[in-house]
Amino acid sequence: MEQVAVPVDWSESATHITVHACAEERKDALVEVSALSGQSWRFLLPKGTVGAELKDRVAAASTIPVVEFDLICNGAAVDDCEVLVNDELIASAPLLTQVQLVRRTKILHALSCSFDRCLKLWDLDQATCVATFKGHIGGVACIDADWHARRFISGAFDQNLQFWDIDNGDCIHTMAGHDGEVCCVSLDCTSSRALSGSYDRTLKLWDLASGNCVSTLKGHQGEVCCVAVDWESRHAVSGSYDFVLKLWDLDQGTCLGTLSGHQDCINVADMNWEHQRALSGSTDRTLKLWDLNAQRCLHTFQGHQSKITCAHLDRDLSRAMSSSADGVIKVWDLSSLACITTCRHDVTMFACAFSWDAWQAVVGTSEGALRVLDAQTGGVVNVLQGHSSGIRGVKMGYCFRLRSAANKLHDVTQLQPESVKFVL
């Protein structure tokens, strides 16, 4: 049976897929998958096979996860529910149909949560909202995401947490147990754990598989406003209205120390356990850099004129980023302890997230808009509208597009094909 060769200018991972209708059976299609490396696989697809089934088989054979590619036929993505092997196809064999396997690229996304009780997923490359999640009966106060696992978690004024599947929009668990607003949360799908902090002055460790609370951490004398976790070492820091930062051992459920020095509520915190450092931001308008081993403040950063709404350490601990409610973003050099960048915007910043890789910040404002900012120039890249009330939390990260969103956005003239052909 004749196969069609296609000139290819692509990587070694490029794949040719050739499908032959079995003339004898007329009820099956023999699928031969061959890689440019010389590897090949064959599948016998029965009548009624849909797109999702073929993608699963291609993924298993090529070791390319389904979420990382699409099959494009006649300028449109093959839908998961689309029937590929039917009577018409078998009757028309051996007509040639060309299909491309397109490797997706990871796109910078943002998740936002708002007083309007909604959560939204944004494709920052396309500047569009690609999904809205609803389920909380109170304003949503906090959010965290595991972008690799394609899961996120939210906490709200209704005192509950909800654990979500990004792709299908399902709420996997609603986790109840706090006796006050859930205002901070950290998520790790690898260990199947989440840690939340609440206005009930406690932190709770959750099992994501069951949705049950594993342990409750007590010690703060005020509402818990922020939490940062190093999930590999199982340590966390939390900040509170009691003006202190607490260091926790999550396995033992014990407080390892209390760090004092701020003169008002600690709103935000970040930590780097490998370097034994933490960064906290407060309503007292300062940031503090902490030595977790010695449990002492190394430096107090001053310069903001309003309460701190975001604090981020970069991976190698050379820089830090902060934002304040008055619309100011600052980048700090942790070697010289000097401010190296200041950007001012005429908005009230309720929340802010930062990507060191993209050098972009996403700001959640009091009027419900997201502003995407160039952190080096301070310029506004995009303004994203969609929420009807103030945005309380924002997260940024790289992940593959939702399949539904990717299908709508595909322009095959601009994609990088892996040169796939179906011969039917």
pLDDT digits (tens, 9 = 90+) for 261-298: 999 999 999 999 999 999 999 999 999 999 999 999 99
Structure tokens at 138: 């109170």
> Which residue type sits at 412?
V
Phi and psi torsions of 290, nearest 5°: -115, 145
Q: What is the mean predicted confidence (pLDDT) over 91-113?
A: 71
**b/e per residue, 134-158, with b = 16+ CB within 10 A?**
ebbeebbbbbbbbbebbbbbbbbbb
- pLDDT tens string 143-179: 999 998 999 999 999 999 999 999 889 999 999 999 9
- Would you say residue 123 has pLDDT above 60? yes
Neighbours of 345 (CB within 10 A): 19
Using pLDDT thresholds of 50, 70 and 90, give the confidence band for residue 31. Answer: low
Where does the chain hold its CATH 2.130.10.10 domain(s)?
107-399
**Confidence at residue 222, expressed as pLDDT on a 0 to 100 scale:** 97
Q: Among 351, 355, 350, which Cα is nearest to 394's?
A: 351
The proportion of the chain whose per-residue pLDDT surpasses 70, expressed as a percent, equals 79
Q: What percent of the chain has pLDDT over 90?
A: 61
pLDDT band at 93 (very low <50, low <70, confident <90, very high): low
50-59, 129-138, 170-179, range with the lowest pLDDT:
50-59
Host H or E run for residue 53: helix 51-62
Any idea which architecture 107-399 has in CATH? Answer: 7 Propeller (2.130)
CATH among 3.30.2020.30, 3.20.20.70, 3.10.20.90, 3.30.43.10 for 15-105+405-423: 3.10.20.90
Please tell me the pTM assigned to this model. Answer: 0.77
Taking 70 as the threshold, does the pLDDT of residue 416 lie above it? Answer: no
Looking at per-residue pLDDT, the higher value among 381 and 106 belongs to 381
In this structure, the strands spanning 380-384 and 319-324 are unpaired
Kindly provide the residue ranges of all beta strands, DSSP E only, lying in 209-318, ordered along the sequence.
Answer: 212-218, 224-230, 235-240, 245-249, 254-259, 266-272, 277-282, 287-291, 296-301, 308-313
Domain with CATH 3.10.20.90 in the chain: 15-105+405-423
What pLDDT sits at residue 346? 85
Q: Look up residue 82 and give its amino acid.
A: E
Q: Which residue has the tokens 């915007």?
A: 345
Place of tokens 């970069």: 314
> Token pair 């049950």 is at which residue?
212
CA distance 150 to 226: 23
Q: What is the DSSP string of 133-158?
A: EE--SS-EEEEEEETTTTEEEEEETT
Tell me which amino acid residue 31 is: V
Sign of CA dihedral 276, 341, 183, 136: negative
Mean pLDDT (the chain) is 84
Query: From the DSSP assignment, how many helices (H) and strands (E) are in the chain?
Result: 3, 35
Give the mean model confidence (pLDDT) for residues 27-41: 59
